[in-house]
């Protein structure tokens, strides 16, 4: 696959998995967490399929497109290794959906990061809550779900508590 192919596959898979996860968790009332705002493309899409005020964004430095910038009271600013434990104290195990797109261009570094951050993410999910990630995660107590038909295997992952 070319880098362009990989990029397109990631975008298509993010949209497909977020749509799928929003449907599967429709009966859960808890908050939604977006880990890694970046340009805000996935945040903007999530606002179109989920209640925008339910979405809390974790980002160390907000630099998103003006149309995709969350309200200040919905941003947990800082390193996720600090803000995820703070969120657990604030919200407990209530999250309906957690989406993570925290990685960069180095697949090996992304994998090391995923191993370190997984134990901080799992306790935030409500029973039957879903986690959608662009990187494979390392959860002891979450089940990996099949992808929707329009997602590309290996470009996105879905886990359920």
For the window 2-21, what string marks contact with ligand SAM as x by the rule CB under 6 A?
A: --------------------
Q: Counting contacts by CB under 6 A, is residue 79 touching ligand SAM?
A: yes
Q: How far is CA 159 from CA 3, 33, 52, 148, 155, in A?
A: 26, 14, 22, 13, 14
Report the residue from 39, 48, 86, 106 that binds ligand SAM according to the rule CB under 6 A. 39
Query: Using CB atoms, what's the residue nearest to ligand SAM?
Result: 38
Residue 73 exposed, middle or buried by CB count within 10 Å (0-12, 13-18, 19+)? exposed
Q: Which of residues 19-38 bind ligand SAM (CB under 6 A)?
A: 36-38
Q: Counting contacts by CB under 6 A, is residue 101 touching ligand SAM?
A: yes
Please say whether the beta carbons of 156 and 13 come within 8 A. yes
Residue 131 exposed, middle or buried by CB count within 10 Å (0-12, 13-18, 19+)? buried
Q: Which span (2-10, 19-27, 52-60, 146-154) binds ligand SAM, by CB under 6 A?
A: 52-60
Residue 66 exposed, middle or buried by CB count within 10 Å (0-12, 13-18, 19+)? exposed
Pick 38 or 123: Cβ nearer ligand SAM: 38
Can you give the binding site for ligand SAM, defined by CB under 6 A?
A: 36-42, 58-61, 79-80, 101-102
């Amino acid at each position: 696959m070319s880098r362009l192919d990989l990029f397109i596959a990631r975008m298509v898979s993010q949209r497909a998995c977020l749509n799928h996860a929003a449907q599967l968790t429709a009966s859960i009332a808890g908050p939604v967490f977006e880990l890694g705002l970046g340009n805000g493309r996935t945040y903007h899409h999530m606002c179109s399929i989920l209640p925008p005020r339910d979405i809390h964004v974790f980002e160390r430095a907000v630099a998103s497109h003006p149309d995709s910038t969350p309200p200040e009271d919905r941003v947990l600013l800082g390193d996720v290794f600090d803000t995820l434990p703070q969120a657990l104290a604030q919200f407990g195990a209530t999250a309906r959906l957690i989406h993570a797109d925290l990685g960069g261009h180095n697949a090996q570094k992304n994998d090391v990061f995923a191993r370190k951050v997984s134990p901080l993410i799992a306790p935030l999910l409500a029973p039957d809550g879903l986690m959608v990630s662009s990187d494979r995660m390392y959860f002891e107590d979450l089940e990996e779900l099949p992808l929707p038909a329009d997602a590309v295997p290996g470009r996105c992952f879905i886990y359920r508590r």
